[in-house]
Structure 1
Amino acid sequence: MKRTPYVPSGNLVDLLLDAICVVDKSGHFVFVSAACERIFGYSAAEMIGKPMIDMVYPEDRERTLQAASEIMAGDSKPHFENRYVRKDGQIVHILWSARWSEDDQLRIAVAHDISERKRSESLQAALYAISEAVHGSQDLPGLFQQVHRIIGQLLPASNFSVALYDEQHDQLSFPYHVDEQQPAPAAHSLAARTLSAEVIRSGQTLLRSLENLDQLPAHIRALDCDALDWLGVPLKSQKGAMGALILQSYSHAARYSENDKVLLQFVSTQVASAIERLQMLDRLQFMAQYDQLTRLPNRELLRDRLQIAMARARRERRQLALLFLDLDKFKLINDTLGHAIGDRLLQQVARRIQQCIREMDTVARFAGDEFVVLLEDFQAADHAVQVAEKIRLALNQPYDLEGQPQRVQPSIGIALYPQHADDPQQLLIHADNAMYLAKKNGGNRYQLGLEKHLDCDSPL
């Protein structure tokens, strides 16, 4: 017996999981299948008559228009990929198979949503890229710039910031900040009423958008926020949240979802490990090159800078000077008031010396109560003498230690290149010898090399 063939009810095209789109020569939708609403978020009625290009992600529009021109010229595109912006602001990745119907003057295309596949591929690529960035970056600013670029391949990241929290000083700062509308926030305490502080205090990811605002706690709704969407993810270490990655969007074309929260949380784990590693390397480098008490360059870093400065001075036929400084009777303060007070005095001495020199010059703690100042790029021969006298007067001012004013006076030796020596070690020795001569002659004075004794006219 002959069977009657089955004829499905409704439009067979609307049963397809992929979307069928028909676009006229001017680029407007003239037909879309039911699957378009699932993929793009718009109903058929909303899409018909709408310019196709208006729904394309802005960064993909130029090459999409180029592809459309090639299709209308007869070049079929069976595997063209681009990104569209859904009605809810989310980005979808579409694989198109498209051709041109010359008879109908229409562009006919099948859209396959490959967002999940692209998401997985992008995430794997991002993790690899972050791993490469960790090993390739020499400092945190370089790392943050690379992380920004990597995250921008996963999410809309035109507005991206890294917040870091210094627990010791209770300071939340923003060492990396790129934003279309807002300057970098000022550093503030973790107790401040800001979204960034909230993320780090709670250790929880926070997505604040127009759609979920009513669902958020009242204290978060009350916080200032100019962005349509604000997404913050904590950077977690073993000690807690060390900072946060922050994304903001001021445009309806770029919105964030719960899936974006999960993705950024996953990436943040790798970023936090990278930051910890670079911070550890920075600490080790600091310990190798800087004095832990005064935070001045130590003698090894001074020697490096002196060698470089002398090579530059020799090449450019310029002068440089070394001031070797020792505190008169410092041991007496240590013995009578204790080493803790002595340490505080050394810290204050370091600050005062720094205030007497230019940013281009170097002051280092050489050893104990000995400091060395490297002066570069000066014209007047008496420049070093003037700086030495300025330092002497600054250090002669009383110090407040345990509520009692204390005085410490310096002996300063001055050595000049090329007058006194033409290599770093000899110049240091020359300045050191001059300092001992100043001390031998009563202290609280400067001595210029082994030449004529330039006595200061203050009382000893």
Structure 2
Amino acid sequence: MPAPLTPSEELLQLLPDAVVQTDAWWIITYLNPAWHKLTGHPVERTLGQSLLDFVHPDDTGALRAGMPVFRLRFADSAHRWMRLQLHPKTDAADRVISRQGVLIEITEIGEQVLMEDRQRFLRLLETIDGVVWEAELGVGNTFLSPQVERLFGYSVEEWRADPGFWRAHVHPDDLAEALVIDDAAYYAKHSYAYEMSYRLIAKSGDVVWVRDLCRVDVDDGRPNRMIGLMIDVTEQKSTELELVRSDNRYALATRGSNDGIWDWNLQTDVLHVSQRFHEIVGLDDTGHLHENGWQFLQQLIDPDDHQRVEAAYRRHLSGHHPNFSVDFRARHGSGRLVWLNWRGIAQFENGTAVRMAGSLSDLAERGSSYDALTNLPGRPLFRDRLEHAIALHRDGASKGGDAPSPGHTTTFAVLLLDLDRFKAVNDSLGHHVGDQLLQQVARRLETCVRPIDLVARMSGDEFNVLLESIDPEGAADRARQMAAALATPYRIGPHTVTCGASIGVVGSQAGFATTDDYLRAADAAMYQAKSQALGVCVFSGNGDTN
């Protein structure tokens, strides 16, 4: 069922005059019913076509230049004189994004009034910021607007006195290409619009970049006639050159950052990756274009992380986040598992994501995200994983109406572990032994979790564990297994070290909104476990412990 019309839309529908709206490329985007009554063209079949297709070929150039009077083709194939004063709408960069106006038939006004209107239009052209010109083969310019003197320093008389003036003042490096385009227009067999960019030597000797918007009119029995508008785009060209230099600087900075770069066409599923991207995942001999982008990425991502990675970028595509960043395990070409960060941003057209681009980082080379001592992920990676788990749990709860039942794939638990007597080990046996103890603790924790879980070192002797797809009872059991594993004495060189742990547990059933909420709850439970020598304490939210 179509959406109800707004009051302004209802008013447009009732207007007796035809209202026309086009986009920046002259494609008709809106017509009210009066269009059909006036022209005979059905509204439904006209939408999506170019307005210029309905204009007499001799008048399209004038309409594009802003002249409001022209001949329009009606449904009976006759052309009638119309007036359409189009009002452009521009964006922040002053670029036209749409045009709209009221179409009125003026055939009965008479030829004299039309000629007067054309004369007023010519005077208007003399005021615009560009040179309007007309030229014929063998004659040269038959018309030039006065702006030629302000932009290039030459008077209208100087320019028009010599049929070869324009060719003599095009920059030598651009002349050959410009002459090919110019000659093609002079000897064309049909009318068409074209565009040229070239440098012109001004009277002062300065070089001016020109964008020339042109049209050749071909009529039987007379030489071809060209009309156009020359615009000074020197400043724009300087900006383009600076952008090229910026792109080069960006490419150099990218290489210096040691990140891999990727660009993914979501419409064709073609993924382009840089050489550094392949080096990070150990695929140096692979081509840089992958026609099945997501299939290529899935082969790299550890199967236990597939769902989480896909959920991260799809949440961005659905508008929940302005960009995405996700850490995951990947199978390196050498066979070993590596922790990587994949991040990027999408480009949208008409509300649809058509492209994504970003970078890939090896977390082992980013000290803040990866702990070199224990070879475990660090705080940023853990927080990212927990944030995704919270989002999935929240989405699952919203779809199910209530919180997911135990065992649901979106349930999770957060554990915070703090070693007991670790400071005493450091003080009595030295930091070297303390470091080895932390390494052995990390390996024991890894043996206590499943592939989908995550163990991270937060700081000092504090570790966090994220258990995914687990119910509260299962999380408590897993925490007790860890406590038992960590309580077993460690053999470090000639020393036997005993160092248990206090563990706080908080499950997703607590329903917190942020990562900080869960970490604070886990810390409160851990503190209670340590102060009361409980070993494991499950956060309940009311001060009770389990």
Tell me if TM exceeds 0.5.
Answer: no
TM-score (norm 2): 0.34
TM-score (norm 1): 0.40
> Between Structure 1 and Structure 2, whose CA radius of gyration is higher?
2
